[in-house]
Amino acid sequence: MLLKGRRAIVTGGASGIAAATVRAYAREGARVASIDIDDASGQAVAEEAEPEVAYFHCDVSKRAEVLETFAHCVEWSSQFHSGDG
């Protein structure tokens, strides 16, 4: 578990290399917020590794969406408490 206790935000996490990155980070112990505009695929990737992965809809070309989504990601990741100490 190389990334245990770490947090990451992956853009484009619904498909391709980014989806593989989401899966790999989660497999290595990271808490991952995956953002994309493809809700069906994004949710499917997140469901593979719940509760370590959550999907958030966000169009990264829209500044207001990015700021709002980032705030949601931070809130989500701070709700996670590991039992390791």
Q: What are the chain's domains?
A: 7-78 (3.40.50.720)
- In the prediction, which pLDDT does 85 show? 37
Per-position pLDDT tens, the chain of length 85 = 899 989 999 999 999 999 999 999 999 999 999 999 999 999 999 999 888 999 999 999 999 999 999 999 999 988 754 434 3
Cα 74 to Cα 63: distance, rounded to the nearest angstrom? 17
- In the prediction, which pLDDT does 80 show? 53
Strands in 53-57's sheet, in edge-to-edge order, are 7-11, 31-36, 53-57
Per-residue H/E/C for 35-83: EECCHHHHHHHHHHCCCCEEEEECCCCCHHHHHHHHHHHHHHHHCCCCC
